Amino acid sequence: MLKTRGKRGSALVLVMVSAVVFSIMVAALYTLFRANTETQAWAKEKIQARFTAEAGVNMAVYMILEGADVPQGHMPIKFIPEGSGDWKFLGEDMGWVQVWVDPHNNNDEVSSANAYEVRAMSKVKSEDQDFSYGLASLILPRNFAVYATFLNHAGGGFYGDDYRFDGPFHSNEPPWVYSETPGRDRDPWFYSFSVAAPYYYYSNGVIKEQATTPHYGNLWMEPYEKMTMGEPFFILNADTVPFGPDKVRWEVTKTAAYNGGLVLDLPDGARMILHKDTLLVKRDESTAEEAYDLAALSKRVVWINNGQSGTVYLKTEEGMGGGTDWRVHGLPDSLAVTIAVTGNIAASGPILYHTMDLANDDLAVMLGILNIYGNFYIALDPDLVSGYDDWKDTRWDISTSDKDYPKGLEVDAVIMVLGGEFVLEDTSDPSYWPSPAVDFAIVGGYIVDEEGVTTWVGGGSDQGYYTFCVYDPRLMTRHPPFFPQTGIWDVAYWDERPTMNDDPASTDYIGRDML
C-alpha cells in the first residue's frame, strides 16, 4: 500500500514539472513568435520607407526630365511638396515624403547648370514608431559641349587610321569608318562611339555595307576590348538627339546676351580680334577700331546679328616672334565666354587660350562659338589668290595658310553649327589652297549639322586642311556660358542614405564642389 502511494506522488510531481516545462516552452514560443512578428513588421515598415523615398526621387527626376523648373543659384529648394506643408502624403501604405533639389555650387542660372542632387526623405508610421529613410540621386543636364564630335548629318564624315576621339562621339546618321592598315595598327580610337543607326564600313573608296560590330574587315575600333563591352562605350541604334535651329533651345544664349552680355549688329565682312579679355571689332577697312571689355560683362555672352548669310571673321591677336609667344594675347585663364552669330563665322587665324593646362580643372578659360543659321569657315587667305588683296593693316589680315603656320592652325573652342557646315570658306577652286595640306586642330569639340569639304586630294598631293579634334576633358562636367543643352539628362549616381536627418537641405551631397 505504501509503495502505491509513492508511485502516485511521483506521477503528480512529473505532471507538475511537465506542465511547468510546457508553460515555459509555450511562453518562449510566444515570445519568439511575437519577436519574429515584430521584426517582420519592423522590416516591412523599413523596406516600405525605402520604397517611398525611392518613389520621391523618381517623381522629382521625372518632373525635371519633363521640363519642370529647377532651382537657380546655389541653395537647396524644396521640390515636393510645393507650397505649404512639410510632407506630401502618398497614401496609407506608402506614407509621406519630402524632396529637395540642391544645385551644384557652380550653378548660377538654370541655363548654365551642370548638376543637381535630388534628395528625398520618407516617413512611414506604424503603431509603435515612425520609420524614415533617405535617398539621393545626382542628375546632370547633358550639354552639347560634352561631345568631342557630334554630327546631325554624317555628310563627309570619314574617320579612319590615326583618328582619335578622346571624348564622346555621336552621329544621328551612319558615319563612314575605315582602316586601311592590317590588324589593329593605327586604327581609329574612340572614347565612346554612339550612332542612331549602324555605321558604314568603308574600304578602298567603296562603302562595303553597314556594320554592327566594332571589328569589321581591317577595322578594329580602339580600344577594342572596351568597345566589345557595348553600352555605354559602343552604342548602335541610339536615340536620335534633336538638332537644328528649330529644335535646339539657343534662345537662352540670346536672352543672356541681351540681359547682361554684349549685342553687336555687324555687316558682312566685319573682322574681330580676341585680345586677352577684350574683343576688338572693325566693321570695315576704313572704320575705326572698337573695343569691348568682356570681363566686365555680367553674363559672358556676345550675340552678333549678321543675318543668315553674312560672314564675320575672328582670330586671336598674334604674339611677337611665333612659337610659344602666339599665346601671349590669348584668352586669359579666368575668362569663359560664348560668341554666337546668326550667320557665318570664319576662323581668320589662330584662336587660342593663354594657358593650355587642360588637366587643371581650376582653369576657367573656355570659349564657345555658336552658329545659328550659317557655317563655320576656315577662312580663305587672300594672299593665296591672285588679284585679291587683304586689308593693308596686317593686324587685321587673314592668315590661315601654311606659310603663316607651318606647324598647323589651332582653334581652342567648342564649335556648334546648328544649321550649316564646318567647311572651307571657298571650295570652288582648290588651286588656291595651301599645299601641302595644313593641320587644323580644334582643341575642345565640334557639334555640327554636317561636315563639309576641308581637304581635297588631287594633283599628286593633298591640299586644304587636315582637321582633327583634341578633346578638352573639362567638358565632361563644364561648358561655355549659356551654351545650348540637349534636353537629355544623365543620372550620375543613386545613393542610399538611411540615416538622413529630418532636414534634407542640410545634408551636403558627396562631390558638391568636386564636379
Pairing label, strands 158-159, 176-177: parallel
**Residue 365 corresponds to which cell in the numbers above?**
578659360
CB 130 within 8 A of CB 99: no
With 0-12 / 13-18 / 19 or more C-beta atoms within 10 angstroms meaning exposed / middle / buried, residue 185 is exposed
DSSP annotation of 202 reads E
Buried b (16+ CB within 10 A) or exposed e, 270-283: bbbbbebbebbbbb
pTM of the predicted model as reported, rounded to 2 decimal places: 0.77
The total of other beta-carbon atoms located within 10 Å of residue 439's CB is 15
What are the domain boundaries of the chain? 2-143+489-506, 153-242, 250-483
**Residue 162 corresponds to which cell in the numbers above?**
590615326
CB 170 within 8 A of CB 195: yes
Residues 275 and 66: their CA atoms lie apart, in Å, by: 42
Residue-by-residue pLDDT tens, the chain, 515 positions: 445 555 555 666 665 656 655 566 555 554 554 544 444 444 677 788 889 999 998 888 888 777 677 776 677 888 888 766 788 898 888 899 999 888 876 554 444 556 788 999 998 887 677 888 888 888 888 899 999 999 999 876 778 888 899 999 999 999 989 888 888 989 999 999 999 988 888 766 666 678 899 998 889 999 999 999 998 899 999 999 999 999 999 998 999 999 999 999 999 999 999 999 999 999 999 999 999 999 999 999 999 999 999 999 999 987 655 555 778 899 999 999 999 999 999 999 999 999 988 888 889 999 999 999 999 999 988 877 766 778 887 889 998 887 777 778 899 999 999 999 999 898 777 666 666 678 899 999 999 999 888 887 665 567 788 888 999 999 987 899 999 988 887 777 888 888 777 566 655 443 333 22
